[in-house]
Structure 1
Amino acid sequence: MHAWPASEVPALPGQGRDLRIHDTATGGLVTLDPGPVARIYVCGITPYDATHMGHAATYNAFDLVQRVWLDTKRQVHYVQNVTDVDDPLLERAQRDDVDWVALAEKETALFREDMTALRMLPPRHYIGAVEAIPGIVPLVERLRELGAAYELDGDVYFSVESDPHFGQVSRLDAAAMRLLSAERGGDPDRPGKKNPLDPMLWMAAREGEPSWDGGSLGRGRPGWHIECVAIALDHLGMGFDVQGGGSDLAFPHHEMGASHAQVLTGEFPMAKAYVHAGMVALHGEKMSKSKGNLVFVSQLRRDGVDPAAIRLALLAHHYRADWEWTDQVLADAQARLGRWRAAVSRPDGPSADALVEEIRAALATDLDAPAALAAVDRWAQLQDTQGGTDTAAPGVVSRAVDALLGVAL
């Protein structure tokens, strides 16, 4: 599977700062100090109802992580999956009476278009669950050999008790885990499981549903969590720098994936930091596919909204915050974009050297994009009220905003 084209990232003078970011597993800020190549895995979409504003907010957060790292003169090895076979996708295809493969391909293509328009940097490896199946099967077989997996009516489950570190990603108690498991794709009430929280590794073939040859596992398809583990271990290995996604993935998805990988390899941790973006609401409720209260990037683009304004609307909120999309949020972003473009269109202006360092400092401190925007606002206000004589300044501001915030002026 191919990703989307990369927009050019301008080089800035000087050097960026190492990133301090909130780690869900420790509950506090950690300083990331990757080697020459920073490694990040971000969980991708299940391709239906793409790309809504919740998606966009999540990928914007991890795009900023990449940009901070690139500014430190590191390379970035970014991997993202596409869950192109899963119960919700099959249910949507059945509801709409369309082929599930065609639905997945259509929505994935739309997601690529939206990511390109928003200037999100693409992953080096963009892998679908279906194409990962040949690598998933041996991992499930290995977990079974290790005594960490068991069969139940043809399905294969992972035993969470096989990982002594289980629970250290989300830091939730068993009762909270059970509730979230039931809400987020698990089956804690299924009779016969060793532990209600045990997640499925391999689902035996069901009549009328797609299935693949699973070798000793029989025909079937992979569970949700093992998909990302197989892709991450194949392309990044253990101990990569950031595991990212929305806050709703901390449990069960990232918790379970970490346990799978740690049992498979005997190493800990799977990732040095587990980083989670907040949720976006509409009309007072979390924006979600199940509620149908979605704002789509593609629809805004069709309505003539500049993608740079959409990106500024996202950047106006701290990545970990839960916030609400409103018409005013978009109007504010459009007005800001207009002010910034007017400010950099002049032949000279106030010196921007300090501004570049302000943006760097803000982003290096837990991706504080609102603080970075406020710094640019101050420069634009100074340009509007006092002007300046530095002929290089407008270009410096334009390149910094592009390189560090992903907004083309």
Structure 2
Amino acid sequence: MDIHLHNTKTRKKELLTPVTPGRVGMYVCGPTVYDRAHIGNARPVIVFDVLYRLLRHAYGAENVTYVRNFTDVDDKIIARAEETGREIGDITAETTAWYLEDMAAVGALEPTKMPRATDWIGAMVEMIEGLIGSDHAYAAEGHVLFRVRSYEAYGALSGRSVDDMIAGARVEVAPYKEDPMDFVLWKPAKAGEPGWDSPWGKGRPGWHIECSAMADALLGESFDIHGGGNDLMFPHHENEIAQSRCAHPEGEFARIWMHNEMLQVEGKKMSKSLGNFFTVRDLLDQGVPGEVIRFVFLGTHYRKPMDWTEKKRQEAEKKLDRLLRALSISIELVCPPSHEFADLPKGMQIGLEDDLNTHAALFSLEQQAELVEGLASGDIVSGEPHQGDATREAAVAFATGLDVLGLYELLIARKQRRLAETSSLDEVHLAFVAHYELAKQNKDFSVVDELKAKLLDAGVEVRIRQGGVDLIPGSNFDPTKLDGCK
């Protein structure tokens, strides 16, 4: 297999050549845990979850280490604790659990390792001491700062010079800085704030040092892939590179840097002031299933801006139902996903190997679903339902494709929900027919009209034809509203 990924650092696609042959290490910047994750936060999770799944199929699950951190000490967390009067540990434990629950709902596997920043303070202090010892950092007024100009390649990732950054940048001016661009590695703790003992007094780490220290401890001085949203390219990732390369001059830090583009809602930047800001949990609670969220996200290449729209949501519902038909055939044939990279549909292999082109992969998957249905239909005509080798091979490839895109388990759950919903709708159908027959006898259709209105509110179309009544659930079908329809 030849997986090519766009490297932000070199501005070109590069063949993934692992630092350690046969093994891959990947670090992705995780959340600051103080509130629910909004849908923009879910984009890097889904992007790098697909890459993680692809790497597991290509190299074997035991040969891929995926690290995603939790920032559990931060100004926003401290502010939230002050606002609510709650303990910081309670807030971070709760929001970490929320995050994992919501990301699981959109089909994300848990990474191999999920370090919490507060568990790695010692490693951060040790790295800072080393940077001071090599004259890349200095202590001043209880702070420790990194000397940006001591690293000649600073700015190479984001493609700007230090002077340009100073001219228009988010630079904190402070009297204890030797240079405006120098950034904080350690800061003193204010009264009432969390803090840890250090050679520079009680304090806490800056944001950037935590990822460098944890990546070094868990993946080594050189590893394969570092990912995150492109909003992190500067200053966070630029600072990570500088401090890591200076702390370990012989190491590469990350070979390939990958950045996903941002998310919009109906063509506009998501913001609370525009009323188009919502969390993953908001969507789930509104009845948008996790597989729909994931499918919409996969439809746009990760390096292009993604637009969440109602039209895309509706289209995803319909396409997922078509995929569900092919999955039902695969289940009937007892064809679970293969863990062999070669068993992916050919079009998916080509798309995913080409810089994780999930748009192309989805198109190939839909074609594979049509192939499975067509072959299965031919088997039935021939009198041997689903027994052909070609049908089985196609079904295995389809199930494997679903798995690599993170849709297999989500569609299994969708199928189970549909079975439960169908059972509930069958009961309502029997009751509606009884009321309809009674109404025809009594010439009073008021109860039937009332039931039709309730069913419509539940997302069910009522079609009364000669010889029967059909209840047809739509894409907005809400089975929780059926109780009042009997």
**Residue of structure 2 equivalent to 1:107:** 95
User: CA contact under 8 A between 1:181 and 1:252: conserved in structure 2?
Assistant: no
> Deviation string for 1:103-137 (max 9, x for gaps)?
21111101111222223222222111111111111
2:28 counterpart of 1:28: no
2:234 counterpart of 1:246: no
> Deviation string for 1:335-382 (max 9, x for gaps)?
111111023324799xx9997111111011011000011112233345
Q: How far, CA to CA, are the matches of 1:360 and 1:55 in structure 2? A: 27
**What are the equivalent positions in structure 2 for 1:165-184 lying under 5 Å apart?**
165-174=153-162, 177-178=165-166, 182=170
Among 67, 71, 92, which residue is 1:83 paired with?
A: 71
> Deviation string for 1:161-205 (max 9, x for gaps)?
1222222222223355347752xxxx4322342222211000111
**Residue of structure 2 equivalent to 1:391:** 391
**C-alpha displacement at 1:263, in angstroms?**
0.6
2:30 counterpart of 1:44: yes
CA RMSD of aligned residues (A): 2.6
User: CA contact under 8 A between 1:355 and 1:376: conserved in structure 2?
Assistant: no
Among 235, 239, 244, which residue is 2:218 paired with?
A: 235
> Deviation string for 1:243-266 (max 9, x for gaps)?
111111111111101111111111
Deviates more, 1:383-392 or 1:292-301: 383-392
Q: How far, CA to CA, are the matches of 2:272 and 2:75 in structure 1? A: 13
Q: How far, CA to CA, are the matches of 1:394 and 1:299 in structure 2? A: 37
When residues 235 and 372 of structure 1 are mapped into structure 2, their CA distance, relative to the original with a 3 A threshold, is same
Q: Which runs of 5+ in 1 are unaligned?
A: 1-16
Q: How far, CA to CA, are the matches of 1:124 and 1:290 in structure 2? A: 37
**Residue of structure 1 equivalent to 2:351:** 362
TM-score between both structures, scaled by the size of structure 2: 0.74
User: CA contact under 8 A between 1:132 and 1:231: conserved in structure 2?
Assistant: yes
- The residue type paired with residue 99 of structure 1 is E
**Residue of structure 1 equivalent to 2:107:** 119
User: CA contact under 8 A between 1:355 and 1:379: conserved in structure 2?
Assistant: no
When residues 190 and 293 of structure 1 are mapped into structure 2, their CA distance, relative to the original with a 3 A threshold, is farther
When residues 291 and 226 of structure 1 are mapped into structure 2, their CA distance, relative to the original with a 3 A threshold, is farther
**Residue of structure 1 equivalent to 2:361:** 372
Which 4+ residue blocks in structure 1 deviate beyond 6 angstroms? 288-292, 352-355
Among 43, 46, 51, which residue is 1:57 paired with?
A: 43
Q: Which runs of 5+ in 2 are unaligned?
A: 380-389, 412-486
**Residue of structure 2 equivalent to 1:162:** 150
**What are the equivalent positions in structure 2 for 1:313-328 lying under 5 Å apart?**
313-328=296-311
Q: Which has a greater percent of helix? A: 2
What is the percent sequence identity of the aligned residues? 35
Equivalent residues, number: 386
**Residue of structure 1 equivalent to 2:478:** none
**What are the equivalent positions in structure 2 for 1:124-143 lying under 5 Å apart?**
124-143=112-131
2:185 counterpart of 1:201: yes
- The residue type paired with residue 86 of structure 1 is D
- The residue type paired with residue 234 of structure 1 is A
Q: How far, CA to CA, are the matches of 1:344 and 1:146 in structure 2? A: 58
* SS state at 2:351 partner: helix
Larger Rg: 2
User: CA contact under 8 A between 1:210 and 1:221: conserved in structure 2?
Assistant: yes
**C-alpha displacement at 1:224, in angstroms?**
0.6
Q: Which has the higher contact order (CA 8 A, sep 6+)?
A: 1
* SS state at 1:150 partner: strand
**C-alpha displacement at 1:288, in angstroms?**
6.2
* SS state at 1:391 partner: helix
When residues 385 and 398 of structure 1 are mapped into structure 2, their CA distance, relative to the original with a 3 A threshold, is closer
- The residue type paired with residue 256 of structure 2 is A
* SS state at 2:48 partner: helix
2:206 counterpart of 1:223: yes
> Deviation string for 1:289-315 (max 9, x for gaps)?
898853322222233332122211110
**Residue of structure 1 equivalent to 2:382:** none
